[in-house]
Amino acid sequence: MLKPLFSGTGNLIRFILRRDRLRLSAWICGIVVFTVGLLPILENLFGDAQSLAGMAEMMGNPAMVAMVGPTYGDSMGALYAGFMLVLLGVLIGVMNIFLVTRHTRQDEEFGRQEMIRSLPVGRLSGLYATLVVVKVVNILIALGIGFGMAAFGIENVDLTGSLLLGAAMGACGLVFAGATAVFCQLCSSNRTASALSLVFLMASYMLRAMGDVGAEALSLISPLGLLSRTQAYVENDWRPVFVLLGAFIVLAVLALVLNRIRDLGQGMVPARGGKRRGGLLLTSPLGLALRLTKTALIGWGAALILFGVMYGSVLNEIPGFISGSPMLQAAFAAQGGASPTDQFVALLMVLMSVLTTVPIIGYMLRVHGEEKQGFTEKVLAGSVSRSGLFGSYFGIAFAASVVFQFFLAFSLWGAAAMMMDAPPVLGSTLQSAFNYLPAIWVFLGLTALLIGVLPNQTGIAYGYLGLSFFLVYIGAMVDLAGWEWVLKLSPYGHVPRIPVEDQNFALLIVLTGIAAALTVSGFAGYRRRDLKSN
């Protein structure tokens, strides 16, 4: 009885693989190479027992636990799992969210699913084929990580623990794929489904962070929290993997059931009806851009405030933790005389500034998204210039970068002030946050340039941001003596880390100049090129 609902699934699977062969290959190879390739680097940096013990002490800090998750031992394998699992879980979660929305809700929004449904395929074939492809991709990633890490033959990094590490990542990714599939059935637009899926990912991270620091029950209801509970290379507990796989099955079945009963192009939750006439705000391109980005602006602003409060509330634990470790005292004494709290603020600020850049790029890419859907040509048919429309989205992204950095710094300082007798200085915290604005503007300018000159290659902006995050993450966590030049490949690597380092306005002016040049080139390219739509 259900067989006709899935007819043609095999052809659709081959179609998705053919259509996304380069994209899927890049995701699989990128995640596997990143995960496996980092292992020998860390092994060279922390190969001796003393270094491993010092790293284990550092990872036990409440602020570090909140940031990257708990560590269950001081072996190379245990430290690597504690250091990387949560980060990789977030990365693979983002991959699954993008893949599922691309082949389900986005295809419906662009009218592709309607064309496919006109062929002899079942009602559930499209969603089921997407879930099968996503499952295969996660399995390949899991196997690549498992066998790749074990191939190095590093002590305490055995095949069993490596396969568990890969399986845990794959299972965690499938949970986010299943949740995204459900959101795609509930929502009537790709934008809303993607936003809810990313909110679910961020909520999972914050639940894990709060649970790892205090109430462990919160970690057990978060996919990222269960990821850490596998205790790879220590206890090798497979039960969290089975729980994650069970959650994926439940979510996938729910998504299929909802997909069967809803109308094509519609969501289970009806879209809110708009007014018959637009307000005065919609009479200008800036007002239109604000209306379209309003929800994302509020959501990201609230998320950054929550992150600031969460990390600011654990800063009071740092001085006491370091005072009990002579090794950590020596490490922090070498950081230019700044207090341990200030040094952790500097560490958090660079990582959080990279996070702030994600929505900034997204706001700028909205102008390209509207163009692909054919909406831009309708707007430009009126008395609206290309520069005015392009500049509206750019202006929103530019203003959001300043406001978001302020939210991040002020919320972190405010939470610390309530918990500590001697919190970080507000002025220094704000300066540390605002110092990263030129680096954020470089990415904003790069995105503008790609939209104006290479509209089909806008993914480069997110790819470069991912590389930058990798560089600053590794640079913040380990001592790259002799390899500092690697950090300079990212704009964030040129920013002085206040108050650990001295201010350098010349570098910030150079970064701002680069951002301005990229932006001007983007504006010029957008005015001259032809509009495109899919």
User: Are 261 and 293 part of one and the same domain?
Assistant: no
Range of the domain at 424: 282-534
**Is the pLDDT at 329 greater than 70, yes or no?**
no
Q: Give the tens place of pLDDT for each residue, 53-77.
A: 767 776 777 767 777 788 887 788 8
- Which residues, 6+ apart, have CB-to-CB distance to 367 below 8 Å? 289, 376, 389, 390, 393, 451
**149 occurs within a structural domain:** yes
The total number of structural domains in the chain stands at 2
Whole-number Å distance between alpha carbons of 445 and 461? 10
User: Are 249 and 358 part of one and the same domain?
Assistant: no
**97 occurs within a structural domain:** yes
Mean pLDDT, the chain, whole residue set: 84
Whole-number Å distance between alpha carbons of 254 and 245? 14
Whole-number Å distance between alpha carbons of 255 and 260? 9
User: Are 342 and 449 part of one and the same domain?
Assistant: yes
Domain end, chosen from 247, 270, 293, is at 270
Between the ranges 101-105, 152-156, 243-247, 265-269, where is the mean pLDDT highest? 243-247
User: Are 242 and 334 part of one and the same domain?
Assistant: no
**Is the pLDDT at 463 greater than 80, yes or no?**
yes
**79 occurs within a structural domain:** no
User: Are 95 and 220 part of one and the same domain?
Assistant: yes
The amino acid that residue 520 corresponds to is: V
**40 occurs within a structural domain:** no
**Is the pLDDT at 338 greater than 90, yes or no?**
no
Helix (H, G, I), strand (E, B) or coil at 71: coil
**54 occurs within a structural domain:** no
**42 occurs within a structural domain:** no
Q: Give the tens place of pLDDT for each residue, 139-157.
A: 999 999 999 988 888 878 8
For the chain, the maximum distance between any two Cα atoms, rounded to a whole number of angstroms, is 73
Looking at residue 112, what is its pLDDT? 82
Q: Say which DSSP state 262 is in.
A: S
Q: Give the tens place of pLDDT for each residue, 173-189.
A: 999 999 999 999 998 88
- Which residues, 6+ apart, have CB-to-CB distance to 141 below 8 Å? 28, 31, 32, 92, 166, 169, 170, 173
Whole-number Å distance between alpha carbons of 276 and 272? 13
User: Given CA atoms 522, 527, 530, 534 in this order, what sign does their dihedral have?
Assistant: positive
User: Are 162 and 311 part of one and the same domain?
Assistant: no
Q: Give the tens place of pLDDT for each residue, 197-217.
A: 988 998 898 888 888 877 778
CB 475 within 8 A of CB 483: no
Single pTM value for the model: 0.79
Looking at residue 369, what is its pLDDT? 83
